[in-house]
Amino acid sequence: MSEEIKSHLFAIRTTGGQEKVVMRLLEAKANANQINIQSVFCVSDLKGYVVVEAVNPSDAYLAVEGVRHIRGQLRGELEFKDIEGYLIKKSTVSQLTVDNVVEITGGPFKGMKATITRIDVDKEEATVVLLDASYQLPVTVDANYLKLSSEA
């Protein structure tokens, strides 16, 4: 019967565009000084902020103290539900449907446009017909290599 340890999430304001630098600085500081922070991450939709996760709030304050490009901290804590939507990786397959026009972004057909004829959700693959080919050529492609075409 282990007791669940609750971690705390704090939004740390940074100089715009320096989020990744701040993440690396915090990671190095935490490793060097054995400061007990669980994670540091930036959220693409939250420009100018990084999120620090720590079991003990004082560890989060110790970690950010004196670090370059940190401009302050939002008062209070973030709730997990505030950032949960940013943490879940959306499957590329879930965004595709049959008859979508897509661009192939990797593999031997990179750069070609195609129409989806079949989707295999379990294998994360799609069968497409190349639009640039002189005849209908069905090809099965990893769905992660497909991007919805802006011309669709």
Q: What are the pLDDT digits (tens) for 103-122? A: 998 888 899 999 999 999 88
Let me know: does 11 contact 78? Beta carbons within 8 Å. yes
pLDDT tops 90 at residue 102: yes
pLDDT tops 80 at residue 5: no
Q: Which residue has the higher pLDDT, 144 or 91?
A: 144
Q: Which domains are assigned to the chain?
A: 8-87 (3.30.70.940), 93-148 (2.30.30.30)
Tell me, rounded to whole angstroms, the distance of Cα 40 from its chain centroid. 13
How far apart are the C-alpha atoms of 121 and 136, rounded to whole Å?
23
Range 71-88 average pLDDT: 80
In angstroms, the Cα distances linking 54 to 32, 98, 128 are: 16, 44, 46
Q: And the tokens for 58?
A: 């004082």
Q: And the tokens for 62?
A: 């110790």
pTM across the whole model? 0.55
